[in-house]
Amino acid sequence: MEYKLILVIVVGLFSLLGGFVGAFLARRTQYEKWLLENRSEVFSQFLDLMYKAREQTTKILFDETKEQAHNDIRITEIYIPPLNYAKTVRLYLPKKQRKKFQKLAVEVWALHSDKGLGFSRLSTMNEKLDEIQAIFESNL
């Protein structure tokens, strides 16, 4: 009789332990899914903002109807939204990749102020944006 009681208690404890482990794993899986979905959304939104900013600023670069200082101000204003959004993106990146990502985002913007690059600035921007995308892809 005592043996059966101990067996019932042990089986009950293992059932409870199994329930807790199952709940923990289910919660962790849901969190990972939520994180992946949010990362995908945040990363794609950032890339969209950067590509739109690049398109708008490229038009300004070749607009010779305004002074260079005026064009530089317009370019900076265009890049404010993606650079501000980069702060949100950083939250979804591992700590070791945050500085590199931020540096690349600022470099894309800064490429517009270097007149000496000429047409090569567009290919350099593409390289920087490709590096940013590679960081994102490594986290999906």
**pLDDT at site 118:** 66
pLDDT in tens, the chain (140 residues): 677 777 777 777 777 777 777 767 667 788 888 888 999 999 999 999 999 998 888 777 777 777 877 888 888 899 999 999 999 999 999 999 999 999 999 998 888 766 666 667 777 888 999 999 999 999 88
**pLDDT at site 43:** 93
How many Cβ atoms sit within 10 Å of the Cβ of residue 43?
20
CA distance 132 to 126: 10
CA distance 110 to 86: 15
Burial of 50 (0-12, 13-18, 19+ CB in 10 A): buried
